[in-house]
């Protein structure tokens, strides 16, 4: 209608429809609740469609099944409540957890000692019963791989592997754009690649696993040992008597400040991780390895060096990158929800 006619019939002015604004709005509001259960921490987050962590909640992961489920439900209830005020519409819940997971059943089949009382656990039912939302579950390393694929360096990469270092070491393998789970959901337990016939004891009951050399827990154990022998502290470091607890970070600081014993522990960790990764290259031949977690930046150079020295020529042309994602396991848990609920 031309303007005079529009005025005559009192039509409201026609708003120009901006589709990009509407899509933006949907992408901002549609969200997932993500849960990550690790050897130390229990995290819950509201994650938007674009992979933005809108709000995050952290607690120590309780040591018993009952306390853990209770805390998960309490943290989720708080997040669901907050989501309303944050204008986030929760489409479902994604759970990332240590242990072997059957994603079809939503069951944690088995866990190492890193998470006690966490074997043969149906995690889907209590969460979906309490929140009336659909629930997806997978292993934390596998979730980290999903996050890299959707939001990180793994975007558009057909074959890649990710290694996430926290208390333990988790892994995820994307082969032909899909996660591999194996015949009994034990594929990509990359922390338990063994790099020596004996070596340090691992939480899985074996020895010589890369987790026993290079994880946060392994480095913390070595830091404590050096500290007990009064061999950790060097000039320029924070006063360790005042430090609440000795961690992998103190070991890294000590090594930086010239403590040769701390340096040797870190070198062994880097070497073990590097050799483990060379083994992975020779099994699945990915084009990219993504390191994530608290120690990733410290391991990138040693891993690259070991690959250069020990991998077969055909496996040498591989990129090793450090993840640029804030919380890969949480984001991957969210991605399961966002991918399934918005699939057309």
Q: Which of 111, 220, 253, 323 binds ligand BMX (CB under 6 A)?
A: 111
Q: What is the smallest separation between the CB atom of 70 and ligand ADP, expressed in angstroms?
A: 18
- Which strand ranges, in their side-by-side order, compose the sheet holding 135-139? 53-60, 41-48, 30-37, 89-97, 135-139
Q: Where are the beta strands (DSSP E) in the chain?
A: 30-37, 41-48, 53-60, 89-97, 100-102, 107-110, 121-122, 135-139, 160-165, 169-175, 178-179, 288-293, 319-322
| Residues 247-276 contacting ligand ADP, CB under 6 A | 247-249
Q: Which stretch binds Zn ion (CB under 5 A): 2-10, 41-49, 185-193, 329-337?
A: 185-193
- To the query of whether residue 140 is one of the catalytic residues in this protein, the response is yes
With 0-12 / 13-18 / 19 or more C-beta atoms within 10 angstroms meaning exposed / middle / buried, residue 339 is middle
166 contributes a contact to Mg ion by CB under 5 A: yes
| Residues 168-207 contacting ligand ADP, CB under 6 A | none
200, 207 contact by CB (below 8 A): yes
Q: Which of these is catalytic: 22, 36, 140, 239?
A: 140
Q: Which of 22, 23, 26, 40 binds ligand ADP (CB under 6 A)?
A: 40
Reported as half-sphere exposure (CB side, CA atoms, 13 A), residue 126 has a value of 16
| Residues 123-182 contacting ligand BMX, CB under 6 A | 139-141, 166-170
51 contributes a contact to Mg ion by CB under 5 A: no
C-alpha 239: how far from chain center: 31
Interface ranges with ligand ADP (CB under 6 A) = 38-41, 166-167, 216-217, 220, 247-249, 293-294
Interface ranges with Mg ion (CB under 5 A) = 38, 140, 166
Interface ranges with ligand BMX (CB under 6 A) = 38-39, 98-99, 111-112, 114-115, 139-141, 166-170, 189, 191, 211
Task: Tell me the catalytic residues.
Answer: 140
Interface ranges with Zn ion (CB under 5 A) = 192, 202, 204, 206, 209
């Amino acid at each position: 209608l031309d303007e005079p006619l529009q005025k005559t019939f009192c039509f409201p002015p026609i708003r120009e429809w901006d589709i990009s604004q509407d899509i933006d709005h949907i992408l901002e509001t549609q969200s997932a609740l993500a849960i990550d259960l690790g050897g130390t921490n229990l995290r819950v987050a509201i994650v938007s469609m674009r992979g933005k962590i809108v709000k995050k909640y952290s607690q120590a992961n309780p040591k018993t099944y009952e306390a853990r489920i209770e805390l998960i439900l309490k943290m989720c209830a708080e997040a669901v409540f907050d989501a309303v005020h944050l204008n986030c519409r929760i489409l479902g819940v994604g759970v990332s957890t240590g242990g072997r997971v059957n994603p079809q059943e939503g069951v944690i089949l088995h866990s190492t000692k890193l998470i006690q009382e966490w074997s043969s656990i149906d995690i889907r039912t209590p969460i979906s019963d309490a929140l009336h939302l659909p629930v997806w579950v997978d292993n934390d390393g596998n979730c980290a791989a999903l996050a890299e694929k959707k939001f990180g360096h793994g975007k558009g990469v057909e074959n890649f592997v990710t290694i996430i270092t926290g208390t333990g070491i988790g892994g995820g393998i994307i082969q032909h754009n899909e996660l591999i789970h194996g015949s009994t959901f034990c594929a990509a337990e990359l922390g338990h690649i063994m790099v020596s016939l004996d070596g340090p004891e691992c939480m899985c009951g074996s020895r010589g696993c890369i987790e026993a050399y290079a994880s946060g827990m392994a480095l913390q154990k070595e830091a404590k040992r050096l500290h007990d022998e009064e061999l950790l502290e060097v000039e320029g470091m924070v006063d360790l008597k005042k430090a609440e607890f000795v961690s992998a970070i103190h070991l890294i600081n000590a090594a930086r400040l010239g403590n040769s014993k701390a340096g040797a522990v870190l070198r062994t960790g880097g070497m073990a991780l590097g050799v483990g990764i060379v083994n992975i290259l020779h099994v699945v031949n990915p084009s990219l390895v993504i390191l994530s977690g608290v120690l990733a930046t410290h391991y990138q150079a040693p891993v690259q060096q070991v690959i250069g020295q020990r991998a077969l020529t055909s496996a040498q042309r591989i990129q090793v990158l450090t993840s640029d994602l804030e919380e890969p396991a949480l984001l991957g848990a969210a991605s399961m929800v966002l991918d399934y609920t918005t699939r057309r």
